[in-house]
Protein backbone atom coordinates (compact mmCIF):
# COMPACT_ATOMS: atom_id res chain seq x y z
CA UNK A 1 0.00 0.00 0.00
CA UNK A 2 1.31 3.50 -0.81
CA UNK A 3 1.89 5.42 2.43
CA UNK A 4 0.45 8.90 2.98
CA UNK A 5 3.90 10.41 2.19
CA UNK A 6 4.10 8.42 -1.06
CA UNK A 7 0.60 9.47 -2.10
CA UNK A 8 1.60 13.07 -1.44
CA UNK A 9 4.54 12.66 -3.85
CA UNK A 10 2.00 11.70 -6.52
CA UNK A 11 -0.75 14.25 -5.90
CA UNK A 12 0.59 17.14 -3.82
CA UNK A 13 3.03 18.79 -6.24
CA UNK A 14 0.50 21.64 -6.24
CA UNK A 15 -3.18 21.89 -7.20
CA UNK A 16 -2.27 24.78 -9.54
CA UNK A 17 0.24 22.58 -11.36
CA UNK A 18 -2.33 19.85 -12.08
CA UNK A 19 -4.97 22.43 -12.98
CA UNK A 20 -2.72 23.59 -15.85
CA UNK A 21 -2.99 20.36 -17.80
CA UNK A 22 -5.87 18.20 -16.54
CA UNK A 23 -9.45 18.82 -17.75
CA UNK A 24 -11.32 21.63 -16.03
CA UNK A 25 -12.78 19.32 -13.32
CA UNK A 26 -9.36 17.75 -12.67
CA UNK A 27 -9.98 14.09 -13.44
CA UNK A 28 -6.59 12.41 -13.14
CA UNK A 29 -7.63 9.20 -14.90
CA UNK A 30 -8.52 7.95 -18.37
CA UNK A 31 -11.38 9.64 -20.24
CA UNK A 32 -13.79 7.83 -22.55
CA UNK A 33 -13.35 9.17 -26.08
CA UNK A 34 -16.59 7.81 -27.49
CA UNK A 35 -17.92 10.11 -30.22
CA UNK A 36 -15.64 12.96 -29.14
CA UNK A 37 -12.04 14.18 -29.42
CA UNK A 38 -12.43 16.61 -26.56
CA UNK A 39 -10.82 15.77 -23.18
CA UNK A 40 -13.48 17.60 -21.11
CA UNK A 41 -16.27 15.64 -22.84
CA UNK A 42 -14.33 12.36 -22.66
CA UNK A 43 -14.03 12.78 -18.89
CA UNK A 44 -17.77 13.38 -18.56
CA UNK A 45 -18.45 10.26 -20.64
CA UNK A 46 -16.18 8.21 -18.39
CA UNK A 47 -17.97 9.44 -15.27
CA UNK A 48 -21.31 8.73 -16.92
CA UNK A 49 -20.24 5.15 -17.80
CA UNK A 50 -19.11 4.46 -14.23
CA UNK A 51 -22.23 5.92 -12.63
CA UNK A 52 -24.37 3.74 -14.93
CA UNK A 53 -22.20 0.74 -14.03
CA UNK A 54 -22.85 1.53 -10.36
CA UNK A 55 -26.62 1.91 -11.05
CA UNK A 56 -26.62 5.39 -9.48
CA UNK A 57 -30.00 7.10 -9.11
CA UNK A 58 -30.78 10.45 -7.43
CA UNK A 59 -31.72 8.50 -4.30
CA UNK A 60 -28.45 6.56 -4.09
CA UNK A 61 -25.97 7.26 -1.35
CA UNK A 62 -22.68 6.98 -3.24
CA UNK A 63 -19.11 6.36 -2.06
CA UNK A 64 -16.05 7.29 -4.17
CA UNK A 65 -12.92 5.45 -2.96
CA UNK A 66 -9.86 7.50 -3.97
CA UNK A 67 -11.85 10.56 -5.03
CA UNK A 68 -8.96 12.75 -6.26
CA UNK A 69 -9.88 16.44 -6.59
CA UNK A 70 -13.60 15.63 -6.55
CA UNK A 71 -14.51 15.51 -10.26
CA UNK A 72 -16.71 12.45 -9.82
CA UNK A 73 -18.34 13.74 -6.62
CA UNK A 74 -19.17 16.97 -8.45
CA UNK A 75 -20.52 15.03 -11.45
CA UNK A 76 -22.77 12.93 -9.18
CA UNK A 77 -24.40 15.89 -7.42
CA UNK A 78 -24.63 18.19 -10.45
CA UNK A 79 -25.44 15.76 -13.29
CA UNK A 80 -27.01 12.75 -11.57
CA UNK A 81 -29.08 14.57 -8.96
CA UNK A 82 -27.39 12.60 -6.16
CA UNK A 83 -28.11 14.10 -2.75
CA UNK A 84 -25.42 12.30 -0.75
CA UNK A 85 -21.94 11.55 -2.13
CA UNK A 86 -18.91 10.84 0.01
CA UNK A 87 -15.28 10.57 -1.03
CA UNK A 88 -12.06 9.37 0.56
CA UNK A 89 -8.56 10.38 -0.45
CA UNK A 90 -5.15 10.22 1.20
CA UNK A 91 -4.12 13.60 -0.23
CA UNK A 92 -4.68 16.77 1.82
CA UNK A 93 -4.38 19.06 -1.23
CA UNK A 94 -7.09 17.10 -3.00
CA UNK A 95 -9.30 17.39 0.06
CA UNK A 96 -8.68 21.20 0.16
CA UNK A 97 -9.77 21.48 -3.48
CA UNK A 98 -13.00 19.52 -2.82
CA UNK A 99 -13.82 21.71 0.18
CA UNK A 100 -13.24 24.85 -1.91
CA UNK A 101 -15.75 23.66 -4.49
CA UNK A 102 -18.46 23.82 -1.78
CA UNK A 103 -20.64 21.15 -3.35
CA UNK A 104 -24.01 20.53 -1.67
CA UNK A 105 -24.40 16.93 -0.48
CA UNK A 106 -20.69 16.17 -0.84
CA UNK A 107 -18.53 15.03 2.03
CA UNK A 108 -14.82 14.21 1.72
CA UNK A 109 -12.40 12.63 4.18
CA UNK A 110 -8.62 12.40 4.27
CA UNK A 111 -8.25 8.83 5.35
CA UNK A 112 -6.81 5.49 4.40
CA UNK A 113 -9.68 3.33 3.14
CA UNK A 114 -8.51 0.58 5.51
CA UNK A 115 -9.37 2.81 8.50
CA UNK A 116 -12.57 4.23 7.03
CA UNK A 117 -15.84 3.68 8.89
CA UNK A 118 -18.92 5.21 7.28
CA UNK A 119 -21.68 6.59 9.45
CA UNK A 120 -24.30 5.11 7.12
CA UNK A 121 -24.17 2.43 4.40
CA UNK A 122 -24.02 3.17 0.67
CA UNK A 123 -26.14 2.02 -2.28
CA UNK A 124 -23.39 2.43 -4.87
CA UNK A 125 -19.59 2.55 -4.98
CA UNK A 126 -17.31 4.10 -7.59
CA UNK A 127 -13.52 3.83 -7.51
CA UNK A 128 -11.46 5.24 -10.34
CA UNK A 129 -7.83 4.14 -10.56
CA UNK A 130 -7.23 3.88 -6.84
CA UNK A 131 -6.53 0.14 -6.68
CA UNK A 132 -3.07 0.79 -8.17
CA UNK A 133 -2.07 2.09 -4.72
CA UNK A 134 -3.11 -1.05 -2.84
CA UNK A 135 -0.17 -3.42 -3.37
CA UNK A 136 3.48 -2.41 -3.38
CA UNK A 137 5.72 -3.91 -6.11
CA UNK A 138 7.48 -6.04 -3.49
CA UNK A 139 4.11 -7.34 -2.20
CA UNK A 140 3.17 -8.32 -5.75
CA UNK A 141 6.51 -10.10 -6.13
CA UNK A 142 5.84 -11.98 -2.89
CA UNK A 143 2.35 -12.99 -4.00
CA UNK A 144 0.64 -10.90 -1.28
CA UNK A 145 -1.38 -8.73 -3.65
CA UNK A 146 -4.56 -10.80 -4.14
CA UNK A 147 -5.09 -10.87 -0.38
CA UNK A 148 -4.76 -7.06 -0.27
CA UNK A 149 -7.12 -6.52 -3.24
CA UNK A 150 -9.65 -8.95 -1.73
CA UNK A 151 -9.56 -7.03 1.55
CA UNK A 152 -10.42 -3.83 -0.40
CA UNK A 153 -13.40 -5.57 -2.05
CA UNK A 154 -14.48 -6.95 1.34
CA UNK A 155 -14.40 -3.43 2.83
CA UNK A 156 -16.50 -2.08 -0.05
CA UNK A 157 -18.97 -4.96 0.51
CA UNK A 158 -19.22 -4.18 4.23
CA UNK A 159 -19.92 -0.49 3.54
CA UNK A 160 -22.84 -1.17 1.19
CA UNK A 161 -26.48 -2.18 1.38
CA UNK A 162 -27.72 -5.42 -0.23
CA UNK A 163 -28.31 -4.91 -3.95
CA UNK A 164 -25.44 -2.40 -4.33
CA UNK A 165 -23.45 -2.03 -7.55
CA UNK A 166 -19.84 -0.93 -8.00
CA UNK A 167 -18.36 1.03 -10.98
CA UNK A 168 -14.64 0.30 -11.00
CA UNK A 169 -11.77 1.47 -13.19
CA UNK A 170 -8.18 0.19 -13.02
CA UNK A 171 -4.98 0.50 -15.04
CA UNK A 172 -3.72 -2.89 -16.23
CA UNK A 173 -0.15 -4.04 -16.67
CA UNK A 174 -0.22 -6.30 -19.67
CA UNK A 175 3.26 -6.86 -21.08
CA UNK A 176 6.87 -6.21 -20.05
CA UNK A 177 8.85 -3.97 -22.45
CA UNK A 178 11.58 -5.70 -24.47
CA UNK A 179 13.90 -2.71 -24.64
CA UNK A 180 15.91 -0.96 -21.93
CA UNK A 181 14.60 2.57 -22.42
CA UNK A 182 10.93 1.59 -22.08
CA UNK A 183 11.76 -0.67 -19.15
CA UNK A 184 13.58 2.17 -17.36
CA UNK A 185 10.85 4.69 -18.10
CA UNK A 186 8.17 2.39 -16.68
CA UNK A 187 10.40 1.72 -13.66
CA UNK A 188 10.79 5.50 -13.22
CA UNK A 189 7.00 5.98 -13.14
CA UNK A 190 6.73 3.30 -10.44
CA UNK A 191 9.52 4.65 -8.26
CA UNK A 192 9.37 8.43 -8.81
CA UNK A 193 5.83 9.40 -9.83
CA UNK A 194 3.63 6.78 -8.12
CA UNK A 195 5.85 5.30 -5.39
CA UNK A 196 4.44 2.39 -3.42
CA UNK A 197 1.98 1.24 -6.07
CA UNK A 198 1.64 -0.93 -9.15
CA UNK A 199 -1.01 -1.35 -11.82
CA UNK A 200 -2.95 -4.60 -11.82
CA UNK A 201 -3.41 -7.60 -14.04
CA UNK A 202 -6.94 -8.18 -15.26
CA UNK A 203 -6.93 -11.64 -13.70
CA UNK A 204 -6.05 -10.13 -10.29
CA UNK A 205 -9.37 -8.29 -10.23
CA UNK A 206 -11.33 -11.28 -11.51
CA UNK A 207 -9.82 -13.40 -8.73
CA UNK A 208 -9.98 -10.87 -5.88
CA UNK A 209 -13.64 -9.80 -6.18
CA UNK A 210 -14.71 -13.20 -4.87
CA UNK A 211 -16.70 -13.88 -2.75
CA UNK A 212 -17.95 -10.30 -2.45
CA UNK A 213 -18.77 -8.96 -5.93
CA UNK A 214 -19.87 -10.52 -9.20
CA UNK A 215 -18.26 -9.23 -12.41
CA UNK A 216 -21.18 -8.29 -14.67
CA UNK A 217 -19.28 -6.35 -17.36
CA UNK A 218 -15.68 -5.55 -18.31
CA UNK A 219 -14.54 -3.11 -20.99
CA UNK A 220 -10.92 -2.46 -21.89
CA UNK A 221 -9.98 1.05 -23.06
CA UNK A 222 -6.28 1.00 -23.90
CA UNK A 223 -6.48 3.55 -26.77
CA UNK A 224 -8.56 5.90 -24.62
CA UNK A 225 -5.78 6.18 -22.05
CA UNK A 226 -3.16 6.71 -24.77
CA UNK A 227 -5.27 9.60 -26.04
CA UNK A 228 -5.87 11.02 -22.55
CA UNK A 229 -2.13 11.00 -21.71
CA UNK A 230 -1.22 12.53 -25.09
CA UNK A 231 -3.64 15.39 -24.41
CA UNK A 232 -2.30 15.91 -20.85
CA UNK A 233 1.23 16.02 -22.27
CA UNK A 234 0.23 18.47 -25.01
CA UNK A 235 -1.43 20.77 -22.48
CA UNK A 236 1.47 20.53 -20.03
CA UNK A 237 3.97 21.47 -22.73
CA UNK A 238 1.99 24.63 -23.49
CA UNK A 239 2.96 25.78 -19.98
CA UNK A 240 6.59 24.68 -20.03
CA UNK A 241 8.04 28.09 -19.22
CA UNK A 242 5.67 28.72 -16.33
CA UNK A 243 6.17 25.23 -14.87
CA UNK A 244 9.98 25.46 -15.06
CA UNK A 245 9.77 28.88 -13.46
CA UNK A 246 7.36 28.05 -10.65
CA UNK A 247 8.11 24.43 -9.79
CA UNK A 248 11.59 23.92 -11.25
CA UNK A 249 13.15 22.04 -14.18
CA UNK A 250 12.93 18.69 -12.42
CA UNK A 251 9.15 18.81 -12.13
CA UNK A 252 8.75 19.64 -15.82
CA UNK A 253 11.32 17.07 -16.97
CA UNK A 254 9.91 14.32 -14.73
CA UNK A 255 6.32 14.90 -15.86
CA UNK A 256 7.43 15.13 -19.50
CA UNK A 257 9.21 11.77 -19.16
CA UNK A 258 6.31 10.16 -17.26
CA UNK A 259 3.52 11.30 -19.59
CA UNK A 260 5.56 10.47 -22.72
CA UNK A 261 6.25 7.00 -21.30
CA UNK A 262 2.53 6.54 -20.59
CA UNK A 263 1.58 7.43 -24.17
CA UNK A 264 4.10 4.88 -25.41
CA UNK A 265 3.14 2.32 -22.75
CA UNK A 266 -0.49 2.29 -23.90
CA UNK A 267 0.55 2.34 -27.59
CA UNK A 268 2.82 -0.67 -27.09
CA UNK A 269 0.28 -2.65 -25.00
CA UNK A 270 2.57 -2.57 -21.94
CA UNK A 271 -0.43 -1.10 -20.18
CA UNK A 272 -4.15 -0.99 -20.69
CA UNK A 273 -7.22 0.21 -18.85
CA UNK A 274 -10.32 -1.63 -17.68
CA UNK A 275 -13.75 -0.56 -16.50
CA UNK A 276 -15.99 -2.98 -14.63
CA UNK A 277 -19.60 -3.18 -13.49
CA UNK A 278 -19.71 -5.27 -10.31
CA UNK A 279 -22.80 -6.44 -8.43
CA UNK A 280 -22.76 -7.16 -4.72
CA UNK A 281 -23.14 -10.85 -3.88
CA UNK A 282 -25.85 -11.10 -1.22
Ligand X SMILES: C[S@@+](CC[C@H](N)C(=O)[O-])C[C@H]1O[C@@H](n2cnc3c(N)ncnc32)[C@H](O)[C@@H]1O
Interface contacts to ligand X, rule CB under 6 A: 1-2, 7, 11, 27-29, 66-68, 71, 88-91, 94, 112-113, 128-130, 133
Question: Which lies closer to ligand X via its Cβ, residue 7 or residue 164?
Answer: 7
Least Å distance between CB 167 and ligand X?
11
Judge if the upstream peptide bond of residue 157 is cis by omega within 30 degrees of 0.
no
CB atoms within 10 A of CB 234: 13
Q: What CA–CA distances, in Å, run from 195 to 107, 190, 200?
A: 27, 6, 15
Question: Which lies closer to ligand X via its Cβ, residue 244 or residue 257?
Answer: 257
Least Å distance between CB 133 and ligand X?
4
Question: Which lies closer to ligand X via its Cβ, residue 219 or residue 244?
Answer: 219
Least Å distance between CB 142 and ligand X?
19
Least Å distance between CB 207 and ligand X?
21
Is there a contact between 165 and 52 (Cβ–Cβ < 8 Å)? no
CB within 8 A of 234, min separation 6: which ones? none
Least Å distance between CB 179 and ligand X?
27
Q: Which residue from 193, 154, 163 is spatially nearest to 2, judged by alpha carbons?
A: 193
Question: Which lies closer to ligand X via its Cβ, residue 12 or residue 123?
Answer: 12
Max distance between CA atoms of the chain, in angstroms, equals 55
Question: Which lies closer to ligand X via its Cβ, residue 15 or residue 244?
Answer: 15
Question: Which lies closer to ligand X via its Cβ, residue 60 or residue 72?
Answer: 72
Least Å distance between CB 97 and ligand X?
10
CB atoms within 10 A of CB 216: 12
Least Å distance between CB 128 and ligand X?
4
Question: Which lies closer to ligand X via its Cβ, residue 220 or residue 244?
Answer: 220
Question: Which lies closer to ligand X via its Cβ, residue 270 or residue 282?
Answer: 270
CA pair distance 93, 11, nearest whole angstrom = 8
Least Å distance between CB 143 and ligand X?
21
Amino acid sequence: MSTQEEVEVSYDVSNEFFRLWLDEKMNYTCGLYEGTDDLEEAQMKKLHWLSEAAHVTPDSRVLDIGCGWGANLEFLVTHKGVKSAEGITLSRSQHDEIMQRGLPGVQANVCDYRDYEPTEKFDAVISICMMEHIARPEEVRDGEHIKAYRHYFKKAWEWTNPGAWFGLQTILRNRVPRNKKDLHDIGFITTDIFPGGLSLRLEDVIQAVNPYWEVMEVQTRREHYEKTCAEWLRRMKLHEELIRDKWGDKVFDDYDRYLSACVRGFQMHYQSLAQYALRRID
